[in-house]
Structure formats: C-alpha cells, structure tokens
C-alpha cells in the first residue's frame, strides 16, 4: 500500500472555505479517478505560529503503479483547480509513504 500525503498550510481567512471545498469537491474528484481507495484528513496540532492552518490529506493506493498513473493523468488538472480557486492562499508539499505493516 502506498500513501500519497499532501501537506497544506492554508491562510486562516480561507481555511473554512478551503476545507469545505476539499471535502465536497476536490477529494471526491481525486477518488473518482479510481486510483485511490480511501483517504484521511488530519490537522496539525500546535502549528499556530505558521500563520495558517496546516492539514495533511492522505490518499491510499494499492500500489505504486496506481499512484504513478494518478500523477501522470489526473494530478495536473486537479492541482490546477486548487490553484485557480485558492491562488496565493495556500502552500502545499507532497510526499509518498509505503505501508510496511
């Protein structure tokens, strides 16, 4: 199992709108690609000095091939949607994790 982790720091003034958009629109769009089987949304605790609210969204894929296909075929368009809607209001970085047990 592969976990695609997207850590996002969102400006406080749009954090509620961003989270609602993630839950109602973006995450369903990501899952509808068929490349991930589930997700979690986590909020960092003790991150008040960052100037925003930090979330980690974790998507679970069966294998690396599913993630690679997502990255090539779907990620550019979905990421562009986020940039268009919340440009300059968030910073994101992405990591991959492999479930060992």
- CATH number assigned to the domain comprising residue 29: 3.30.70.100
Whether the CB-CB separation of 55 and 41 falls below 8 Å is answered with: yes
Residue 29: which pLDDT band, with cuts at 50, 70 and 90?
very high
Reduced to 3 states, what is the DSSP secondary structure of residue 81?
helix
Reduced to 3 states, what is the DSSP secondary structure of residue 88?
coil
pLDDT of 9 over the 80 cut = yes
Q: What is the pLDDT of residue 46?
A: 85
CA angle, corner 83, sides to 78 and 20, nearest 5? 75
- Chain segment 31-68, per-residue pLDDT in tens: 999 999 999 999 999 876 768 999 999 999 999 999 99
Sheet holding 90-98, edge to edge: 38-43, 52-61, 2-11, 90-98
pLDDT of 5 over the 90 cut = yes
Q: Which domain holds residue 31?
A: 2-98
Domains held by the chain: number: 1
Q: What is the pLDDT of residue 63?
A: 97
**Residue 59's closest CA among 85, 33, 91?**
33
- Chain segment 60-97, per-residue pLDDT in tens: 999 999 999 999 999 999 999 999 999 899 999 999 99
Tell me the whole-structure pTM to 2 decimals.
Answer: 0.92
């Amino acid at each position: 199992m592969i976990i695609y982790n997207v850590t996002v720091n969102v400006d406080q003034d749009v954090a509620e709108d961003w989270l609602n958009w993630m839950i109602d629109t973006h995450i369903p769009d990501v899952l509808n690609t068929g490349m991930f089987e589930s997700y979690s949304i986590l909020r960092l605790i003790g991150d008040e000095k960052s100037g925003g609210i930090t979330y980690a969204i974790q998507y679970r894929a069966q294998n690396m091939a599913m993630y690679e296909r997502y990255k090539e075929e779907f990620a550019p368009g979905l990421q562009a949607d986020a940039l268009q809607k919340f440009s300059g209001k968030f910073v994101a970085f992405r990591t991959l994790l492999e479930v060992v047990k």
